[in-house]
């Protein structure tokens, strides 16, 4: 069975702080895909990033970066210089299985 | 380019009734998945349709059924509604089918309240 754990229920930061959202996954598959989605207050989930299991290169895209480590089954997501508009619930997903989400509150 | 659309936006039903939710995928997408999201929880995968067939199913009872039409749109049917079925129902579409490897584009959801 596949499982995604997001241990951080809620994180509060002040604008311009960096914030890292943790994600730990479990799977017996050798090939798999990991995703991060954002759900703003409007409710519609928005795709952020995708990583496949055979590419462990970490990347940066604008203010977003992610750290994929197969050895620890972790796929952490970092927002640099957070902004108020980043306030949302962030979900990590392993294929079709979602975690419980981390609510990020960015205050001015 | 229209995104994923869902109807209705909100729905109130009584226990024991049946409900049908509808979804039109993003243009160019042929795979549709349905999720249930209870308040404060992550989306729970219900099932996925591709080529008018159910390809994968999550841990949901047979009361939850679906259909995909030749134009790729889809319906989710829930019979014998329970109070616990109250949730936001999300539809997601993707191009092609690779057992969960594609990026999914989500609709705004249908908020179902069972009284």
For residue B26, is pLDDT > 70? Answer: yes
Tokens of A32: 């798999």
Of B42, B105, B107, the CB nearest to A47: B105
B58 interfaces chain A, CB cutoff of 8 Å: yes
pLDDT band at A52 (very low <50, low <70, confident <90, very high): confident
Per-residue pLDDT at B1: 67
| Cβ under 8 Å to B: A residues 11-70 | 33, 35, 37, 42-47, 50, 52
Mean pLDDT value of segment A29-38: 92
Mutation target for B interface from A96, A99, A100: give the one with most B CBs within 10 A: A96
Per-residue pLDDT at A56: 67
For residue A38, is pLDDT > 80? Answer: yes
* Nearest-neighbour CA in chain B from A92: distance (Å): 9
Mean pLDDT value of segment A56-68: 81
Comparing alpha-carbon positions, the chain B residue that sits nearest to A33 is: B101
Mutation target for A interface from B100, B108, B112: give the one with most A CBs within 10 A: B100
Tokens of A5: 């754990």
CA max distance for chain A: 43
Per-residue pLDDT at A30: 87
Is residue B93 within a helix (H) or strand (E), and if so which, with residue range?
A: strand B87-94
pLDDT band at B101 (very low <50, low <70, confident <90, very high): confident
For residue A98, is pLDDT > 70? Answer: yes
CA–CA distances in Å: residue B24 to residues A12, A51, B8, B109: 36, 27, 12, 12
Check B44 against A91: CB less than 8 A apart.
Answer: no
Check B103 against A101: CB less than 8 A apart.
Answer: no
Q: Is the peptide bond before B8 cis (omega within 30 degrees of 0)?
A: yes
Comparing alpha-carbon positions, the chain A residue that sits nearest to B98 is: A95
Please, what's the b/e burial string for B24-50 (b: 16 or more CB within 10 A of its CB; e: otherwise)? bbbeebbbbbbbbbeeeebbbbbbbbb
Check B108 against A44: CB less than 8 A apart.
Answer: yes
Q: Considering chain B, what is the average pLDDT of its residues?
A: 94
Give the DSSP letter of residue B28: T
């Amino acid at each position: 069975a596949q499982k995604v754990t997001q241990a951080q229920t809620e994180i509060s930061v002040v604008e311009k702080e960096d914030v890292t959202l943790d994600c730990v996954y479990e799977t017996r598959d050798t090939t798999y895909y990991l995703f991060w989605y954002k759900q703003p207050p409007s409710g519609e989930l928005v795709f952020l990033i995708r990583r496949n299991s055979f590419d462990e290169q970490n990347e940066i895209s604008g203010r977003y970066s992610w750290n994929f480590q197969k050895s620890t089954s972790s796929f952490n997501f970092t927002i640099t210089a957070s902004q108020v508009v980043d306030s949302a619930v962030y979900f990590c997903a392993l294929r079709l299985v979602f975690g419980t989400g981390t609510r990020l509150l960015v205050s001015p | 380019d229209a995104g994923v659309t869902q109807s209705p936006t909100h729905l109130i039903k009584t226990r024991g009734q049946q409900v049908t939710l509808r979804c039109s995928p993003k243009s160019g997408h042929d795979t549709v998945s349905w999720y249930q999201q209870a308040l404060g929880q992550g989306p729970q995968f219900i099932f996925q349709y591709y080529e008018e067939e159910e390809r994968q199913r999550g841990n949901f009872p047979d009361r939850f059924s679906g259909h995909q039409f030749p134009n790729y749109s889809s319906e989710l049917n829930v019979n014998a509604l329970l109070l616990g079925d109250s949730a936001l129902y999300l539809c997601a579409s993707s191009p092609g089918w690779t057992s969960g490897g594609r990026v999914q584009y989500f609709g705004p959801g249908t908020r179902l309240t069972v009284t």
